[in-house]
Structure 1
Amino acid sequence: MARGLPEMLVWDILSKLPVKSLARFKCVCKPWSSSFQTPLFITQHHLTNDHLNLLVKRCDGPNFSDLCYFSQLSTEKGQNFSPRQNIHLPVFEIEYYNHFVTVHGPHNGILCLDFDANIICLWNPSTREFKVLPQSSIQRPPLAADTSFSGLGFGYDSQTDDYKVVRFIDNAFEYHCYGNSYYLETTYQVDLYSLKGNSWKEISDPIIDRGVNVRDTTLLDNYVNGFYYWLATAPQGYIILSFDMVNEMFSTLPLPEFDGGFEQCHLHLLNYNGLLGASVYPSEGTLKSFDLWVMNGFWTKQFSIESVPGVERPLGFWKNGELLLDSSDNELVLFDPSTREFKNLGIHSYKEPLMVAYVESLVPINGRSEHEEHILFYCQALRQSMCNMS
């Protein structure tokens, strides 16, 4: 321990340091290096440090083959969200998956990267640990003509200290009749991945059996206090589907009663200060308005942003309830609901932006460093390519 300082004070100071500093301090002494990896210190560090980071998905151009990456923006006062570093992950360099990534989380600093639900990765951007999830061995119906993925969710089970991924699978059956004509019938399956078990299992639920299916248009994080939420379709129309990460059960909620319906508006679910929120905005027009609804026993409209020129869609909330927006020119805009002021950040997000705010974390995911995972991923891709050629 540091000479002249009480041990408890030293650990209190260390728990507030950025992960990058702790990585350097591992070489100070063996007790420090081993203590930084204990569950007690990892939990204390995540709860006490306030190093909020901002990641934005960017792309070098509008074309399908243009390389995508994450930019970590500087959030220090006076630095105006300038790009601090660019992070290139191995899957981003595979052309097919370049534009299809959706980010779920963070939960305790862990992100889930969903590449069209075909390749799913967990990533700790603070420690740069990266894990590609194993393929599911769950059997699909043998007569299914086509199998596709319709949605995904990522959450935390506080009871077992486990991270879980929920994935929806559509199995389409083709029936021929009257010569060449045919019709399709679809059944739904739900896979659940557990990080602790590093395995998938099938979830059966009567709500899913009744034909409820998700419409995964996720731009924002839909995980709130142990539940993940999706916009879904049911025989009676649109609803909200929720999944309890602890009890592993589904339930449903009604939608807020907004004007225009889905013919004229987009609706995205989000986490608003620990409550389920819904952002509603017009799908057409250059003059946009945004309504934020919040569920606290029933839906209430939290605030409205009226007649905003040149703004395309919401990306998420920042400190003090500020809302980050994407402009029609793909520039990042910050809106303060308390002052009703807009600030153009001068950051070009390029095509299909994604924004993630996360607090630094030491939480391990039993993966590899980005460099090791990069080598492994390309070895697997090369083997698959050779198999396809043979």
Structure 2
Amino acid sequence: MQGLSKTGGSDIPEVLVFEILHRLPVKSLTRFKCVCKPWSSSFQTPLFITKHHNHHLRRNNLNLLLKRSLENRRPYDTYFFSQLSTDKGHNFSVKQTVHLPFFENFLSRPEVHGPCNGILCLSDFTDKVALWNPSTREFKILPQSSIQCPPFASYIPYYNIYIDFGCSGFGYDSQTDDYKVVRFVTIHFGGYDEVYNGYVEFDRNEKVELYSLRSDSWKEISHPGVTAHGPLLINNYINGFYYWLAVGHYEYEISILSFDMVTENFSILPLPLPTTSGTYYLALLDFNGLLGALLPQGEGTEKSFDIWVMNGSWTKQFTIDSVPGVERALGFWKNGELFLESSDHELVLFDPSTRELKNLGIHAYMGTMRISAYVENLVPINGRSEYEEHIIRRLPEGASN
């Protein structure tokens, strides 16, 4: 941190300057890079980045991004992100809207994985994957998949082969200081069948590939033998592991699939309760650093939610009873409050301790809301600026600044 101590002609102890600066938000540090070159370079040292992130983590300084669409525009929906205010008195109002042209013309995309240390992974059903640090406004488009279609397919008449890029996961390997993306890939083999008078799938080949930010490349790894399904909630990365719901050979064989970012191995975990039709609506989440499961109960728009936690075995922590006018849960906030999508498709916040249901005045098209809470981080992802990637940030309509 040498060079931080002398500014404006006065001598300030270096340790004191360091203590002040690492408490500031990323937006302020970005402006202060212009003060002097030593400041700019110091903000990118591992020591400062770790100290800054840990301070905001301890203080639970969360930021909120809401992915949503305002209308149904099939075949393509226009999804965007809303940066929500988390300051007292702002009541989670929209501060900015963010449009990502890289994912613009794809149905229900991008999917969001993480957050992990303030970084989000975005993907779609094509080969498109990107990492995004919304705090530093850095965006990295990942290289092409390592898995390609077999070349012989194009020489067989009426034969069709295509690749489906399915569920992804994103996390951090603490042993190698590396960020990794794991992705399920299916190669479909099919063609025209005269009996059925249409396309028929003859076979499929399921694979898994892993991306390393350190090497900036993909590699193929062993398949776990079950099919991962996308999460209902966003934050399925918990302490070095990523989790999905998974389906075995038979549709009723539902379990939880985990991936260890350090060992790069898969594991199968049981569900909190025996398989039921409602299991598909079970949402996995981070519950105070442990794997949590939120299971809705009841029909219609008045629902209860059971909260289960895995700590060696599943235990039910508590039940949130009879919340009226609710479509589905989106995730927890700082003090146990629960973000929900109302039956009118608005964002609401429910406080279980007071049973207060606060309408936040933010709308979305049915079922399109996904909320992500993250702590700011200065960690670089070796990408380009949002400006270079033509990412558009706008003030909400009616805002004066």
**If the length of structure 2 is used for normalisation, what is the TM-score?**
0.85
Q: Provide the residue aligned with 2:19 in structure 1.
A: 12
Match of residue 44, structure 1, among 51, 59, 75: 51
What is the CA-CA distance between 1:265 and the residue it aligns to? 5.7
Match of 1:379 in 2: none
Checking the alignment, whether the CA contact within 8 Å between 2:279 and 2:295 is kept in structure 1 is no
| Equivalent position SS for 1:42 | helix
Aligned twin of 1:321: 336
- Classify the secondary structure of the residue corresponding to 2:49: helix
Structure-1 separation of matches of 2:370 and 2:136: 21
Residues 142-196 of structure 1: per-residue CA shift (max 9 Å, x gap): 6683321231111111111111111101223349999559664333100101111
Q: 2:379 aligns with which of 363, 367, 383?
A: 363
Contiguous gaps of at least 5 residues in structure 2: 154-159, 392-401
RMSD: 2.4
Give yes or no for the alignment of 1:331 onto 2:346: yes
Query: Does 316-325 or 333-342 show the bigger shift?
Result: 333-342
Pick from 207, 218, 222 the counterpart of residue 200 of structure 1. 218
Question: 1:253 aligned to 260, 269, 287, which one?
Answer: 269
Aligned partners of 2:319, 2:355: CA distance in 1, in Å? 10
Hey, what does 1:384 align to over in structure 2? Answer: none
Opposite residue 43 of structure 1, the aligned amino acid is T
Q: How far is 1:350 from its partner? A: 3.7
Contact 1:265–1:280 under 8 Å retained in 2: no
The amino acid that maps onto 2:181 is: V
The residue identity in structure 1 corresponding to 2:73 is N
8 Å Cα contact 1:265/1:282 also seen in 2: no
Give the secondary structure class of the aligned counterpart of 2:390.
Answer: helix
What is the deviation of 1:262? 2.1
Give the fraction of aligned pairs with identical amino acids, expressed as a percent: 60
- Is 1:109 the equivalent of 2:118? yes
The partner residue of 1:164 within 158, 176, 180 is 180
The whole-number CA distance in structure 2 between the counterparts of 1:86 and 1:183 is 41
- In the TM superposition, residue 124 of structure 1 has moved relative to its aligned partner by 0.5
How has the CA–CA distance of structure 1 residues 185 and 323 changed in structure 2, closer, same or farther, with 3 Å as cutoff? same
Alignment partner, residue 237 of structure 2:
223
| Long gaps (5+) in structure 1 | 376-390
Change (3 A) 1:121 1:242: same
Separation (CA, whole Å) in 2 of partners of 1:74 and 1:163: 28
Q: How does 1:65-144 map to 2 (within 5 A)?
A: 65=76, 67-92=78-103, 94-97=104-107, 99-116=108-125, 118-140=127-149
TM-score, normalised relative to structure 1: 0.87
**Which amino acid in 2 is paired with 1:153?**
G
SS of residue matched to 1:11: helix
Residues 266 and 282 in structure 1, CA contact (< 8 A), matched pair in contact too: no
d(CA) in 1 for partners of 2:343 and 2:211? Answer: 37
Distance 2:298 2:130 in 1: 31
Per-residue deviation, 1:290: 1.6
Q: Does the aligned pair in 2 maintain the 1:241–1:250 contact within 8 Å?
A: yes
Q: Deviations over 1:332-376 (max 9, x none)?
A: 11122333332222222444011111111111110001111229x
Which of 73, 91, 94 matches 1:63? 73
What secondary structure sits across from 1:75 in the alignment?
coil
The CA deviation string for residues 210-240 of structure 1, in whole angstroms up to 9 with x for no partner, is xx11122443311111111111111361111
Deviations 1:281-306 (A, max 9, x none): 25852222222211111111122222
**For residues 37 and 183 of structure 1, do their structure 2 counterparts lie closer, same or farther at Cα, with a shift above 3 Å needed?**
closer
Q: 2:312 aligned to 270, 287, 297, which one?
A: 297
Q: Tell me the CA shift for residue 4 of structure 1.
A: 4.4
Name the CA distance, whole Å, in 2 between partners of 1:354 and 1:328.
Answer: 15
Say how many residue pairs are matched.
368
Change (3 A) 1:139 1:91: closer
Q: Which one has the bigger helix percentage?
A: 1
- The one-letter code matched in structure 1 to 2:124 is F
Structure 1 residues 183 and 109: alpha-carbon distance in aligned structure 2, compared to 1, 3 A threshold: closer
| Cα pair distance change 1:117/1:218, threshold 3 Å | farther
SS at match of 1:91: helix
Is the partner of 1:319 in helix, strand or coil? coil
